[in-house]
Structure formats: C-alpha cells, structure tokens
C-alpha cells in the first residue's frame, strides 16, 4: 500500500498570524499495491512503484491518485531500484548476472531503451536521474572494495563518465544510496563518510563522518546527514 499526501503534519506550536489565507488541505490517496514495494521514484507528476511480488510497475497520478499498472513479468521476485526523470522512468534489476537497466515510457509503460553498461561493472545498487543524466552506483572491483558512480547519457544510452573509486564496504551494499541535490551527486550508507561528486567533472570529495550516514536532507546551502 502506498499513501500520497501533499499537506504536512500540524505544527506543535501555534503558527504566527499571517494576512494570507490558509491553504486548503489537499486530499490523501491510498493505493493498494498487493505486494512488497521495492523501487520507488517520483517524477513528471507521477509516483512510480515497482511491486516485487507481482513484477508490476505502478504509475500513480500525484494529483488524482489514479493508478495504472504495467506488468514486467520477467522481473517478478527481483530486487529493483528506480529513478524518474524527463526521459521516463528507469529501472535496474539488482540480481541479473550482468547489469540490466531499462527505460520505460511514462505514457505507455513500454520498455523503450536498454542501455549497455561496461562489462566490468557489477550489479546496480542505486539510481538517480538528475542534471540531464542517469547516475548509477555500482561496486568497484578494486581492492580495497568500494564504489563507483557511472554517468549515463539518456540521449545516446551510453556511459560517458565513470568516477574514481569511493571507499566503502560492499558487504552492506544494499544500504548504500545515491542522492542528487544542491547541484551535486552524493553517496552515503556503507562507509563512515559522505562522498560528493561534481556532475560535470566527476571529481570526488569525501567528508569523514563519526557514524554511518543512512540518509541526507537537503535544505538551505548544505545537506545534513
């Protein structure tokens, strides 16, 4: 089940008086999905949900809550990561012997692209669609193990940039995450550090942290773990 709402929770303290009229509360939509949610992404006015148990990609209209289902039967039972952008919704199957990435048309649900990734690239751990590119987080086969970020051009379907190695352990690979915000690409999760990448040059800057950063919140000038 997925719940959509565009209004926040009420504040603990009374809000200061304002001359502007209060915004009308937005409706809350509940959509039954009939299975375990795996990939989740928002873009183009839709929420995209991959339901692992049924192998179905669900498109939910964020304004009306109307849902449409697109079967991807070959991926049933597989762990999937997702990202949405102006070119459509992207999905990566984490259990394929070779990295398997597809782009789905947001209107028809048809697979319209199957980009080829370099042979040495491991399973795709995370995706992000931002700054005109698709970004993929993959394990680095070097020693000591770590991560690399791939930049894929949606127009050509080709990888046109690979970052330097980012330190981290692959034993907790599914907790590693890829983020886009504040004009940068960020990697968190499986190392005591936050890695920041320049989208244009792919230069990597690593900031040490006292704990494993599970997530980021973007607000103001800098993100916080």
What is the chain's percent helix, strand, coil content, to nearest 5? Answer: 5, 45, 50
Rounded to a whole number of angstroms, the CA Rg of the chain reads: 19
Q: Strand, coil or helix: what is 125?
A: coil
Tell me the whole-structure pTM to 2 decimals: 0.81
Instruction: Please give the pLDDT value at position 55.
Output: 93
Query: How large is the average pLDDT for residues 186-211?
Result: 89
Topology agreement, domain 29-114 and domain 121-218: no
Position 121 confidence tier, pLDDT thresholds 50, 70, 90: confident
Position 23 confidence tier, pLDDT thresholds 50, 70, 90: low
CATH of segment(s) 29-114: 2.40.10
Domain assignments of the chain as residue spans, ordered by start: 29-114, 121-218
pLDDT in tens, 126-160: 999 999 999 999 888 766 678 899 999 999 999 99
pLDDT at 119 over 80: no
Q: Are 193 and 167 in contact (CB under 8 A)?
A: yes
Taking CA 8 as the corner, what is the angle to CA 15 and CA 87, rounded to the nearest 5 degrees? 135
User: How confident is the prediction for the chain on average, in pLDDT?
Assistant: 82
CA dist 161 and 180 (Å) reads 16
Q: Is the peptide bond before 191 cis (omega within 30 degrees of 0)?
A: no
CA dist 103 and 87 (Å) reads 8
Instruction: Please give the pLDDT value at position 17.
Output: 54
Instruction: Tell me which residue has tokens 């009308």.
Output: 24
33 sits in the region (left: phi over 0; alpha: psi -120 to 50; else beta) called: alpha
Residue 146: count other Cβ atoms within 10 Å of its Cβ.
21
Instruction: Please give the pLDDT value at position 224.
Output: 54
Of the options 2.60.40, 3.40.50, 2.40.128, 2.120.10, the CATH number for the domain spanning 121-218:
2.40.128
Q: Are 86 and 135 in contact (CB under 8 A)?
A: no
């Amino acid at each position: 089940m997925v719940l959509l709402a565009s209004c926040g929770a009420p504040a603990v303290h009374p809000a200061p008086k304002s001359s502007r009229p209060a915004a009308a509360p937005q409706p809350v939509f509940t959509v039954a999905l009939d299975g375990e949610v795996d990939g989740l992404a928002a873009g183009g006015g839709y929420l995209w949900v991959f339901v692992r148990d049924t192998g179905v990609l669900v498109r939910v209209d964020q304004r009306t809550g109307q849902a449409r289902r697109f079967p991807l039967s070959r991926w049933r039972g597989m762990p999937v990561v997702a990202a949405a952008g102006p070119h459509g919704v992207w999905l990566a199957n984490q259990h394929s012997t070779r990295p398997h990435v597809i782009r789905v048309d947001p209107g028809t649900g048809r697979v319209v692209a199957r980009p080829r990734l370099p042979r040495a690239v491991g399973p795709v751990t995370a995706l992000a669609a931002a700054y005109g590119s698709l970004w993929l987080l993959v394990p680095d086969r070097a020693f000591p193990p770590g991560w690399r970020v791939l930049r894929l051009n949606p127009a050509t379907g080709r990888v046109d940039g690979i970052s330097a190695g980012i330190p981290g352990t692959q034993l907790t690979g599914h907790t590693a995450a890829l983020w886009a915000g504040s004009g940068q690409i960020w990697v968190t999760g499986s190392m005591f550090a936050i890695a920041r990448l320049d989208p244009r040059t792919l230069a990597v800057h690593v900031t040490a942290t006292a704990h494993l950063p599970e997530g980021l919140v973007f607000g103001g000038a800098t993100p916080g773990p």
